[in-house]
A and B are shown apart, each in its own frame.
Chain A
Amino acid sequence: MHKLSNKARIAIFIVLGFVIFLISNRVDELRVYQGATVAVYVVGIASIILLTGYSGQVSLGQGALLGVGGYAAALARLHWGVSVPVSFAIAILAAAAAGALLGVAAARLSGPYLAGTTLALAVGLPSIANQFTFLGGEQGLFYDVGFPPASLGEDFTQYKWFFWIAALATLLAIFWLQNVMRSRYGRTWKAIRGSDIAAELAGINIARVKILAFTLSAGVAGLAGALLAMTIGTVSPSAFPLALSFSLLTGAVLSGVTTLGGVMIGAVTLVAIPEIVHSVVDRIGASEAVATNLPSLIVSALLIVTVIFVPNGPVEQMRTKSKKVKSL
């Protein structure tokens, strides 16, 4: 295991934050917006890594948990007028509560059952918004984060403000997640992932640990949901479609579910591929049908290739390779 002292890790995160800050001042507004989207994906993907990579459970319905977070944040801000950080906290708590409920069910379910159940959840949950008028129905609710402070100047754009908030939240979330995974719980989860039976023999209460993993993962997903709601300014059922759940899962697999180290890879791929494909297609002048369908084809193919050839993700692959080299 690579162990870094806490101090060194804090230093790295501060440097990383500073680098992001510098980048945000250099790139144009569209990149800043995409950066905020990447941050949302990073947090969403991290929530799946926490769940799947560290406790071996799968969720095909993470998008629904993002939805819970997004709606909670929007409602809190709309009806109670809480500050943005508080609305994030409420999003995390609400999603975590939903995750705990789901976790109780999940603890009784093995792989395929859990996959199907979470899939059904992803389809069913967003439609609840249409049942209750206070959730705003199909057109949804506004989630207003407010304008950037005047002290940042006239030219300071809304998206840069979103990006700063999202990046900061992401850095904190990832730092905290690393702590969790380095803790006793993290080790316990890994033990379970390896083998339920072995863990049970070691005296671990598997059901409780699984529920905890689901709860924490859902909390992180809730944060991602609030950040997503912030970047699009609204929450609505169609903002949390099944496709979102699939995208996050794809991103998690591309990143490698065993470690947080590659979490950027999946997020950047999801945002960059459609754009790269479009610019290539525009240049070679392929038909409209090809242009709209190619990105999903490429992303899905990447997903399958990754699952088959680098199931543990590129980062873990690199690590194993370098270990092998060292041991020679």
Chain B
Amino acid sequence: MFQFINTLLIGITSGAIYALMALAIVLVWRSTRVINFAQAGQALASTYFGYQALQYIDSFWIALIIAMAGGAILSALIEVIFMRILLKHTTSGAIAGVAPIIATLGLLEIIRTLVTLKWGGADVIVKAPLSNTGFSIGSNTLVFSPMKLAIIAVVTVLLLVFSVIFQKTSIGLSLRASAFSPELARLAGIRVDRIRTLGWAFSGATGAVAGLLLVTNGNGSLSPASLEFSLLLISGFIAAVIGGLESLLGSVVGGVALGIITAFVLMYISDSLFFIAPFVVLLLVLFIRPQGVLGKKGGRRA
């Protein structure tokens, strides 16, 4: 029983982080119809922004906000400088459909290299603001710790903020309208280019949170070559697909579901299925419900 609860908690916490990455992927997908594989690199760079900020100030939470701002600016710059030119130039031709995907892979490599040149290849440590020591019930210690609680709280708050922005404000309406029908949005007077940049900025900020939380959920070590960031990208993508790629709520459900499934497979079947399990989940989703768990056939809801 205790093992079961612990497994569930492991799954929910890592799932919350996958969910953030999925959210970042979905935000870009909705605004630009591109899966941005550079997102892992952006999250990495933003996490380093946070690390850098921690060298000057003492508060992790302020560093988190700085990382979010840095991630948002980086992401917006990528959209303005890079994606606009890219999409303008690749409207036709054999690889028009896949060119943006390929280009974002190139971008991923460039960001990673630049991060290595700036901060070096060795591990740096980001100190967690809260204890990672698990809560105790009697003589048993749960996997759940104050830091993990904070991670789930941050994800929840972020999600609430997003849903208020998206559902209740005119900026949210602009974002959704631009995502679903850029032409109608323009006819309604929305400056779609700016809104798209805003969508990327939101995504960059979300990725920054995912990166910093990923690091502090672990031992706090961070390096440009970290495999975890590549895996974060793939888990985020799979979570987004489970959620149907369009829905913000869906990506959260997808992330948590993926986290829990993976945790149970590793605990009760074998640890060595680590790389295979998410892939199998992805294939199953694509075959059984290609529109995602929350996606509706034909229609897409925000």
Contact = CB atoms under 8 A, between A and B. Distances in A.
A and B assemble together: yes
A307 B109 contact: no
Contacts of A121: 279
B106 A123 contact: no
A166 interface: no
Interface in A9-61: 52-53, 56, 58, 60
A294 to B, nearest CB: 8
Contact of A105 (B105, B120, B287): B287
Contacts of B237: 116, 119-120
Contacts of B116: 289, 293
B191 to A, nearest CB: 24
A312 B93 contact: yes
B279 A111 contact: no
What is the interface of chain B mostly: helix, strand, loop, or mixed? helix
Contacts of B114: 297
Contacts, number: 144
Contact of A300 (B82, B85, B113, B241): B113
A301 B85 CA distance: 14
B113 A297 contact: yes
Interface in A175-226: 193
A308 B278 contact: no
Interface in A105-158: 105, 108-109, 111-113, 115-117, 119-121, 123-124, 127-128, 130-131
Interface residues of B, number: 49
Contacts of A93: none
Contact of A308 (B85, B245, B287): B85
Interface in B278-302: 278-279, 282-283, 286-287, 290
B107 A115 contact: no
Interface stretch (B42-50, B170-178, B197-205, B269-277): B269-277
Interface stretch (B9-17, B29-37, B54-62, B160-168): B29-37
Contacts of B85: 308
Interface of B: 29, 34-35, 37, 82, 85-86, 89-90, 93-99, 101-103, 105-107, 109-110, 113-114, 116-117, 120-121, 230-231, 234, 237-238, 241, 245, 272-276, 278-279, 282-283, 286-287, 290
10 residue pairs, one from A and one from B, having the closest CB atoms: A124-B279, A303-B106, A58-B98, A127-B275, A300-B109, A112-B35, A300-B106, A304-B106, A116-B237, A307-B103
Interface of A: 52-53, 56, 58, 60, 105, 108-109, 111-113, 115-117, 119-121, 123-124, 127-128, 130-131, 193, 242, 246, 249-250, 253, 257-258, 289-290, 293, 296-297, 299-301, 303-304, 307-309, 311-312
27 contacts: A53-B94, A58-B97, A60-B101, A108-B290, A109-B286, A111-B97, A115-B35, A120-B238, A123-B230, A123-B275, A127-B274, A131-B273, A193-B94, A246-B109, A253-B95, A253-B102, A297-B109, A300-B106, A300-B109, A303-B102, A304-B107, A307-B103, A308-B85, A308-B103, A309-B89, A311-B93, A311-B96
